[in-house]
Structure 1
Amino acid sequence: MTLSERPDGSLAGKVAIVTGAGRGIGAAIAKALHARGSRVAVVDVNHETAAGTASEMGANAIGIEADVSRSEAVSAMVAQVVETFGGIDILVNNAGIDRAVPILEMEEAEWDRLMEINLKSVFLCTKAALPAMIERGGGSVISTSSIVARQGAMNGGIHYAASKGAILAFTKTLARQMAQHGIRANAIAPGVVDTDLIREHMSEAMREKVTSAIPLGRLAQTTEIGGLVAYLASDEARYVTGATLDINGGFWIG
């Protein structure tokens, strides 16, 4: 059995980049990939959180500070990963921000900055990583979208919803264009995830309201998001491309 055929879900021998991985969902994704044997580059705009998460993971993990909305930073980051680990097999585009601003109150600069971080970064990181994947004979690109990509944002973050919807179209097109190189492209669409950010900014009343609308009766755990990404990155999912996998406890169905 070759390295590219591991139906047991192992990621041994593979190299992954996870953006926005200093905390929350990104950190959980990085740890899930690492636990299955992948060497992981933990990329975050904050040096301390990137280094801290990588340190928690131990051997075969490095922390890299990079603003993934800037092409020069992305090029340097990808070059460092290739130099350190010898190639790239997995890219997880997870970096993103959100702010609940209604359209009538939104400044153009805010729209532009969110699009740079949430959407332009997906283009920059993917384009930069693809040559290394092609050289390895294949790879997997997984991008974090959201339930709001299809149902719209409930809290007024119209730019956030627009960016996450664009990721779905980007992913489908990428899957078509890169299939000839053995590179798969998929997206995940989480619902509400129990992160520090949610706990800090969601009132108890709102949390109860959201939870009551979820058939499974709770918010998602970050480890569950990590497990889904690890599946998509593995050869268990070698026939899955151009897909969006929902993970929302049934919130989508109401």
Structure 2
Amino acid sequence: MSVPQPLAGRVALVTGGGNGIGAAIAGTLAARGANVVVNDIDADRAHRKAAEIGPRAIAAPGDASSSADVSAAVALALSAFGRIDILVNNAGMDQAVSILDLEEANWDRLIAVNLKSAFLFSKAVLPGMIERGHGRIICTSSVVAHRGAMNGGIHYGTTKGGMLGFARTLARQMAKTGVTVNAIAPGVVDTDLIRTHMKPEVREMVEAEIPLGRLADPAEIGGAVAFLASDDASYITGATLDVNGGFWIG
């Protein structure tokens, strides 16, 4: 049975694409037919994921919060594929710390990785998208943008709320250009990190708060991004797609 290829011929760049949610997004976009550029600060992770996807993927490692690294990654993507049709602003980090213990340098670093990166990559890819009259930008926010970070830091919650404002404002600015901009807000996702660090009793407590009764499979996040990247979402912009099993309403 053939798999539908709604993104055939498109080129997607995924930041933070070497592991976790980003890796699932990169894999799903490739499965839907896209050529994929895997950006990750960890070069080994980026190359491993690109190799796993196959010949339609390349690694473009670098720090998503560095303008020089962003320029290099975009240049590599354009050299390999000629254009970028889809940008997934997914790079991010978290730090569970009270504001009373939060150092200014840690605040600045997390803001740069989680939020500045979206600005840098979006600005870098938009000229080509505007010239072609078509583009998709999808920003990874979080359920904490709605309900606040329960165990994460205030800087993490701030960036995820900021990502929604970034996406909505950019959607307005790009509305006449053929470029749509949307966000996804995942809940708790069953990644390797969660499986390694979340204690069984904590997981049980979290799952009890989720109306669907389980954590998200990473592929379900990838599917939401693939939908927003497809022509089926051509009339959707400035929206937030909540992919959290009802955690927001729970």
TM surpasses 0.5: yes
Task: State the match for 2:14 in structure 1.
Answer: 18
**Which of 151, 172, 177 is matched with 1:176 structurally?**
172
- Whether contact under 8 Å (1:45, 1:67) holds in the other structure is yes
Code of the aligned partner of 2:241:
L
Deviations 1:221-252 (A, max 9, x none): 00000000000000000000000000111111
Code of the aligned partner of 2:103:
E
Deviations 1:103-161 (A, max 9, x none): 00100001000000000001000000101211222100000000001110111411000
What does residue range 56-205 of structure 1 map to in structure 2 within 5 Å?
56-205=52-201
Code of the aligned partner of 1:195:
T
Q: How many percent of aligned residue pairs carry the same amino acid?
A: 62
Code of the aligned partner of 1:234:
S
Residue 104 of structure 1 aligns to a residue whose secondary structure is coil
Task: State the match for 1:245 in structure 2.
Answer: 241
**TM-score, normalised by the number of residues in structure 2:** 0.97
* Whole-Å separation in 2 of the counterparts to 1:173 and 1:208: 38
* Whole-Å separation in 1 of the counterparts to 2:33 and 2:143: 29
The runs of 5 or more residues in structure 2 that have no matched partner are none
- Whether contact under 8 Å (2:122, 2:137) holds in the other structure is yes
* Whole-Å separation in 2 of the counterparts to 1:91 and 1:213: 32
Code of the aligned partner of 2:177:
H
Kindly indicate whether residue 35 of structure 2 is the aligned counterpart of residue 39 of structure 1: yes
Shift of 1:79: 1.0
What does residue range 214-233 of structure 1 map to in structure 2 within 5 Å?
214-233=210-229
* Whole-Å separation in 2 of the counterparts to 1:188 and 1:211: 20
Residue 180 of structure 1 aligns to a residue whose secondary structure is coil
Shift of 1:80: 1.0
Residue 212 of structure 2 aligns to a residue whose secondary structure is coil
What does residue range 45-56 of structure 1 map to in structure 2 within 5 Å?
45-56=41-52
* Whole-Å separation in 2 of the counterparts to 1:43 and 1:126: 14
- Whether contact under 8 Å (1:16, 1:39) holds in the other structure is yes
- Whether contact under 8 Å (1:9, 1:236) holds in the other structure is no
Poorly superposed stretches of 4+, deviation over 6 Å: none
- Whether contact under 8 Å (1:103, 1:156) holds in the other structure is no
